[in-house]
Structure 1
Amino acid sequence: MYGGRARRGAAIAAVLLMAGCAAEPARQDGGAARESGAARKPATAGTRTPGPQGVAPRPGEVGRIRASGGLPPVVSSIPTRRKVVFLTIDDGWEQDPGFVRQIREERIPMTAFAMRDAVEAEGTPDQSGGEARFVGAGKWGYFRQLRDAGVPIENHTLTHPDLSRMGYDAQRREICGASTLIRKQTGARPTLFRPPFGAYNSGTLRAAGSCGIDAVLLWTATVQPGGKIAYQVPDKRLRPGDILLMHFRPNLARDFRILVKKIKRRGYELGDLRAYLDAAVRPGA
């Protein structure tokens, strides 16, 4: 179920390794979950960074998001009139230590959607924001540090394929395989899913639901290099309830700092996505 799934994690890792992210060719390996390199110890429970990770909804603030046919709802924005937006980040190529520090020290609410091949640096790095410096720097250890800073680690498939072009069984291997791996590496099984390229069909929703996914998350604006917001609405401005999509790209810490300042200058708060989804999507809705 949605509400009340608190993420708990191990103590913050002492050292951030350096490596980098890469834009990977999709592997047709049946989506089997696996770890790269030597065998790793299972994730153990620890202490998550204390304190609020973003504003929570007020009573009666959030409108209802309704699912149909027992499938996970597809959510691109949160129905609220409050000036609050939600930060999300995809893939896992550029594992910038400054990004983790900013989230941890400033308690900035963020939700990460991890893709196995990016986290494990299998492929060509995404260098659209500049030269990559931290490709696969800590691999899953980096994502455990994000987890310990209060960031839920959610599902973005194993190999980043266009799911809308795949059959049900193949989609299920991609989604369930990623959830199994993330559970093994972080100690918590994802309940949110972001389809690569935003591409999905009814089979995707069925597959996601069978893998324990409660909602499929899209977005209303993307964050480009330099912290620039690319809007998908004609008036080119933030709107209450917007879900912003970032990527683990070069200069991530710098761009993230610019973005957060820009959002706050415009009078918006950063929201706790989980709390708002809990308010909007209720069992039986």
Structure 2
Amino acid sequence: MEVTRRQALTAAAGAAVGAAGAVGALRLEEHLDQDTPLPFYGSPVSAIRPDRSAPAAAAGSVVWAGSGTERHVALTFDDGPHPDWTPRVLAALAAEDVPATFFCLGRDVRDHGDLHRESVGRHELANHTFEHPDLGRHDWAECRDEIERTSRLMKDTYGVAPTLFRPPYGHVGGAALLAAAEARLTTVLWSAQAREDLVADRPDGIVEDIAGQVRPGSIVLAHDTGSQDRLVTIDRLPAIIRRLRDDGYTFVTVSALLAASASATTASHG
């Protein structure tokens, strides 16, 4: 008898709930072709809790940029804090009197949290998961654990819980979006980024490359640890800041950018 796609999906969903009554999340294989059926509940792409209970949030949000009504730009740095690079970034920002948003890894807050002791109230510290996994391959429980462990540690370390979340690699499935929404975190991606690979033979070109991408409301992705090529951006951070200032931009944190966007939207509908 021929098995239809819906029957296959239903069977997969039934496997997720389990005969023992404990509803577990099904893991996807490392590689799936487009014809492989996914379970209704419990896969990384599902934005429904695997036990089909009500979500702990009524809504969530994902942003790539601000509204663009003002010449504001937010610089963001992922994957730290790390003793080799983070102090260099903080020194450059301090010299130019520029705030930024740092999407921190829980494991690095655990190991190097003191690097951001003076950042509270000056910069914004946000959640970038604990171990930097690809959340597009993880179920709801795993996504929730990565996010909650990091937020809890950041609150304990800095006295302030993060309100923003960035998924590693920019990969989000429904499970990650649900977990972030339930943690009351806004998911933040980006609209411009440091593209060091495009200027490998002319590293000073990173200044114009970033300036060429930035628009009012841009959120710019960079990193404060990682492969050596990323130092192209870190070493030229003062020049990047001055170039954008020459273009009339004011630097703000992501939360300030989003708050200004919300105010502008409210005013336009007032």
Report the equivalent of 1:45: none
Contact 2:207 2:239 in 1 (8 A): no
1:206, CA displacement in angstroms? 1.3
Q: Which of 266, 269, 274 does residue 247 from structure 2 map onto? A: 266
Contact 2:207 2:243 in 1 (8 A): no
State the alpha-carbon separation in 1 of the partners of residues 182 and 173 from structure 2: 15
1:237, CA displacement in angstroms? 3.3
Q: 1:209 to 1:103 in 2, by over 3 A?
A: same
Contact 2:72 2:251 in 1 (8 A): yes
Bigger RCO of structures 1 and 2 (CA < 8 A, at least 6 apart): 1
Contact 1:222 1:229 in 2 (8 A): no
State the alpha-carbon separation in 2 of the partners of residues 238 and 253 from structure 1: 17
1:137-196: CA deviation from partner (whole Å, max 9, x where unpaired): xx1000213225x11111000011111111000000000111001111111111100000
Q: Which of 201, 206, 214 does residue 238 from structure 1 map onto? A: 214
Q: 1:199 to 1:230 in 2, by over 3 A?
A: farther
State the TM-score, normalizing by the size of structure 1: 0.60
Contact 1:224 1:230 in 2 (8 A): no
Q: 1:190 to 1:256 in 2, by over 3 A?
A: same
Contact 2:217 2:257 in 1 (8 A): no
* Larger helix percent: 2
Report the equivalent of 2:107: 117
Q: Which of 143, 155, 167 does residue 171 from structure 1 map onto? A: 143
Report the equivalent of 1:103: 93
Contact 1:91 1:119 in 2 (8 A): no
> How many residue pairs align between the two structures?
194
1:281, CA displacement in angstroms? 4.6
SS in structure 1 of the partner of residue 236 of structure 2? helix
State the alpha-carbon separation in 2 of the partners of residues 230 and 115 from structure 1: 29
SS in structure 1 of the partner of residue 193 of structure 2? strand
State the alpha-carbon separation in 1 of the partners of residues 76 and 124 from structure 2: 10
Report the equivalent of 1:24: none
The gaps in structure 2 that reach 5 residues or longer are: 1-56, 197-202
Report the equivalent of 1:188: 160
1:262, CA displacement in angstroms? 2.1
State the TM-score, normalizing by the size of structure 2: 0.63
Contact 2:104 2:129 in 1 (8 A): yes
State the alpha-carbon separation in 1 of the partners of residues 256 and 131 from structure 2: 29
Fraction of identical pairs, as percent: 28
Matches within 5 A, 1:106-255: 106-119=96-109, 139-147=112-120, 150-213=122-185, 215-225=186-196, 226=203, 228=206, 236-249=212-225, 251=231, 253-255=234-236
1:200, CA displacement in angstroms? 0.6
